[in-house]
Amino acid sequence: MRQRKRLRMLGYDYSKDNLYFVTSCIKNMKCYFGTVKMGEMKLNEYGKIAETQWYWLETQYPYVVLHAFVVMPNHIHGIIEINRNLAPESPKIKSLSELMGAYKTTVSKQIHLLGFYDFVWHRSFHESIVRDDKAYKKIIAYIENNPMKWSEDEFFL
């Protein structure tokens, strides 16, 4: 049996205060969230759910701060910050994987409630730790410009 490639850094605590750049794709790269027209993302009903649920993370978890974010036709990109100093008490801090699991589950559930049972996320997600201000600015520019560069995107089909 082929062993799956490890996506997360071995031994790193992903509930640690930090900024994380995440990308999550729809299974088989199906374009279910809308279309890009003239460099601008036009969200459909499912894309609006994906966007709304992203911002739900910040209201649900007081230690989460959301930065740049974009919904694309078949994936999302975002920067999520874990900052336990923002929590009024000392709650159990969810790891990045748990936060992304909550996001993907709630998006899927709401889309399924609309009767679209074929919607499925690709397993797992991509992440990178935002190391410094230079990387942060570069990632924000990438996220903000993603719709304008859709035809050049590695996820473009």
Query: How many residues are recorded in the chain?
Result: 157
Residue type, 18: N
pLDDT for position 3: 52
Q: Quick one: average pLDDT of 122-138?
A: 96
Residue with more model confidence, 35 or 2: 35
Q: How confident is the model at residue 150 (pLDDT cuts 50, 70, 90)?
A: confident
pLDDT tens per residue, range 8-45: 577 799 999 999 999 999 999 999 999 999 999 999 99
pLDDT tens digits for range 72-113? 999 999 999 999 999 888 789 999 999 999 999 999 999 999
What is the signed CA dihedral for 98, 114, 24, 15, rounded to 10 degrees?
Answer: -10
> What's the Cα-to-Cα distance from 124 to each of 33, 72, 103, 133, 134, rounded to whole Å?
18, 17, 12, 27, 27
| pLDDT given for residue 157 in this prediction | 63
Residue 115's pLDDT is: 97
Residues forming a β-bridge with 133: none
Residue 136: pLDDT over 90: yes
Q: How confident is the model at residue 4 (pLDDT cuts 50, 70, 90)?
A: very low
All domains in the chain, ordered by first residue? 18-147 (3.30.70.1290)
What mean pLDDT comes out for the span 113-124?
96
